[in-house]
Amino acid sequence: MPDLVGSIDAGTTSVRFMIFDEFARVKASHQLEFTQFYPHPGWQEQDAHEIMDAVHKCIDGAIAELEKGGEHTKADVKVIGVTNQRETTVVWDRNTGKALTRAIAWPDARTTHTIRELAAKSDKGTDAVKEQTGLPLSTYFASTKLRWMLDNIPEVRKAHDEKQLLFGTVDSWIVYNLTNKAVHITDASNASRTMFMDLKKQEWCPKLCDFFGIDMDILPQIKSSSEVYGKVAEGTLKGIEIAGIVGDQMAALVGNKCFQPGEAKNTYGTGAFLLYNTGEKVVSSDNGLLSTIAYKAGPNAPVHYALEGSIAVAGSAVKWVRDSLGLIKDASEIGELAGQVEDTGGVYFVTAFNGLFCPYWDDTAAGTVVGITAYTDKRHFCRATLEATCYQTKAILDAMAKDSGVALKALQVDGGLTNSDEAMQIQADILGINVERPEMRESTALGSALLAGSAVGLFGWDINRPETLAKVNTAGKQTFSPRIDDKRRAELLHGWERAVERAKGWNENP
């Protein structure tokens, strides 16, 4: 039977295992949510062992679905890749393999005080390590989360001081467990989000480790995004090679086949993440963006870099409207309600639940709603919720145009929120450019599958020769074009910026 490739997609709120054929058709998949813990305002934690349980169950579920049809067996899955929520920080005991505390999730904002202490160590403030890492000091990245653990959790400090601690992002944790503790690695894209790696050398930097006060021995080995790392040690896919690791947003760039400099995508998941391929060149941002590694497609392949703009809250705002406010029963309803009104009636919703990321970078910003009148109803609020992500995307694209000198002509999109036609039409209206949505929108899982397949030459795929992927994910692209004029767009954007100014600095003593 035809060969297949699998992908573990460990996102912020759920895990999926997806199985693709050579054309990126999904042959089987299984998805499970896992628990989010919010012990204090602004905090978000996860159980690393629950994530691994979900990984195993999703693999079992997808293989069962695959074999149910009778066309394939698990033996047809030749290789698997891993993609993951990125900056989420896991620490575990070197001997037992047990997590020492809950993982701190990437949106968690508890480290504001840690940021201030670190910034005070340098005359560059929050840009203290930006030259080496491409990143500003922020609650977002793994280094500050690990520093907080060392300062506040005695078990973690003790394990670190006694040389028993291991650190990793979620990709490292998954591969460590799948290989039965044999492999402690990460890929260059995930390593670039820790603040411990020199962006140009793709190596852990002793000076950065000293700055954050951590022992380099706890860090995983940095590998490329496309090579064989080891084999699954047990379970349904025992003996299958693991051959592709990449952070979820970089995976979506690969899955959308944005291989050329100047191509960009936006993934609308729990947050929203816009990546702009800058090729083999690091482009430093003067406009609040991140410089990051996109992927390294093989041990001897060149590194591809990207500019990134990150929005902390996108799909999670829809979930909040559903679960906390009860305005909708299902996430899909938000687009339907938003489409019943022509505009928000002057309402703006700045979804700064844990501060604002690119290009504003304000850890003290708070979620803010302005413009409510007696005319406002839940349809206007639902539309304002969708517009919040679209406005932030516009701010990021404007910053990218300034940094790169090139304005984007069209935006490739994927992720759960793109299932809403109304949301994508709003996005096109606010951007003033076309928004292009593929039929198969699981680009994150597909990206790691492409890198895994490329590593072993499956289907003749070679990420470094994009023409070998010409037949991958080509079906049914839909284009959304702007329907409002420049004058109306400028009025809407002016209102959004006024709302953002009101949200900034609200938390005076976070």
- Decide if pLDDT at 509 tops 80: no
Kindly state the average pLDDT of the residues 162-175.
Answer: 97
- The structure tokens listed for 310 are 């990150």
Asked if residue 285 is part of any domain, the answer here is no
pLDDT digits (tens, 9 = 90+) for 366-418: 999 999 999 999 999 999 999 999 999 999 988 888 888 777 888 889 888 89
Does the pLDDT value for residue 11 go beyond 60? Answer: yes
Angle at 327 between CA 499 and CA 385, to 5 degrees: 30
Does residue 454 share a domain with residue 416?
Answer: no
Share of the chain above pLDDT 70, in %: 99
Element holding 25 (H helix, E strand) = none
pLDDT at 42: 87
Per the structure, the complete domain to which residue 196 belongs is given by 4-256+440-469
The pLDDT assigned to 267 comes to 87
What digits encode the pLDDT tens for the residues 447-487? 999 999 999 999 999 999 999 998 887 777 889 999 999 99
Answer left, alpha or beta for residue 338, where phi above 0 means left and psi between -120 and 50 means alpha: alpha
Pair (173, 67) in one structural domain: yes
- The CA dihedral of 489, 413, 170, 63, to the nearest 10 degrees, is 150
Residues 211/114, Cβ–Cβ less than 8 Å: no
Domain co-membership, 23 together with 146: yes
Tell whether the model's pLDDT for residue 510 goes beyond 60.
no
pLDDT tens digits for range 71-101: 889 999 999 999 999 999 999 999 999 999 9
Task: Tell me if 27 is assigned to some domain.
Answer: yes
Both 233 and 326 in one domain: the answer is: no
445 and 432 in one domain?
Answer: no
Residue 188 lies in a domain: yes
324-358 tens-digit pLDDT = 999 999 988 999 999 999 999 999 999 999 888 88
What separation in angstroms does the CA of 505 have from each of 44, 115, 424? 21, 16, 30
Residue 1 pLDDT exceeds 70:
no
Distance CA 302, CA 296 (A): 6
- 100 domain residue, yes or no: yes
In a domain, 510, yes or no: no
The answer to whether position 494 is within a domain reads yes
Whether residue 263 is predicted with pLDDT greater than 90 in this model: the reply is: no
Tell me if residue 401 falls in helix, strand or coil.
helix
Residue 359: pLDDT over 90: no
Residues 200 and 339 in one domain: no
Task: List the structure tokens of 337.
Answer: 């309600």
Euclidean distance between CA atoms 79 and 20, whole angstroms:
11
Per-residue pLDDT tens over the stretch 197-251: 999 999 999 999 999 999 999 999 999 999 999 999 999 999 999 999 999 999 9
At 166 the pLDDT is 98
Among 149-163, 309-323, 406-420, whose mean pLDDT is lowest? 406-420
Strands 241-247 and 77-84: parallel
Number of structural domains, the chain? 2
Q: Are residues 247 and 315 in the same domain?
A: no
Q: How far is CA 314 from CA 76, 282, 325, in A?
A: 36, 27, 16
* CB atoms closer than 10 angstroms to residue 235: 13
Do 94 and 143 share a structural domain?
A: yes
Residue 222 sits in a domain of what CATH number? 3.30.420.40
Mean pLDDT for the chain overall: 92
* Predicted TM-score (pTM) of this structure: 0.85
For the record, the structure tokens of 234 come out as 């047990």
Q: Same domain, yes or no, for 17 and 146?
A: yes
CB 138 within 8 A of CB 162: no
Cα Rg of the chain (Å, integer): 22
Mean pLDDT to the nearest integer, 51-62: 97
Tell me the CB-side half-sphere exposure of residue 242, using CA atoms within 13 A.
Answer: 30
Q: Is 427 within a domain?
A: yes
Mark whether 99 and 188 lie in a shared domain: yes
Burial code (b: 16+ CB inside 10 Å, e: under 16) for 381-409 equals bbbbbbbbbbbbbbbbbbbbeebbeeebe
Side chain identity at 398, as an amino acid letter?
D
The mean pLDDT value for 63-76 works out to 91
**One domain for residues 406 and 461:** no
**If you write DSSP's letter for every residue of 229-277 in order, what string do you get?**
EEE--SSTTTTPEEEEEEEHHHHHHHHTT--STT-EEEEESSSEEEEEE
Other CB atoms within a 10 A radius of the CB of residue 34 amount to 20
Examine the domain organization and report whether 40 and 171 are in the same domain.
Answer: yes
Q: Are 29 and 65 in contact (CB under 8 A)?
A: yes
**If you average pLDDT over residues 53-80, what whole number do you get?**
94
In a domain, 178, yes or no: yes
CA pair distance 326, 365, nearest whole angstrom: 24
403 in Cβ contact with 426 (< 8 Å):
no
Is 421's pLDDT higher than 60? yes
Q: What 3-state class would DSSP assign to 312?
A: coil
State the first-to-last Cα distance of the chain, in angstroms, to the nearest integer.
Answer: 58
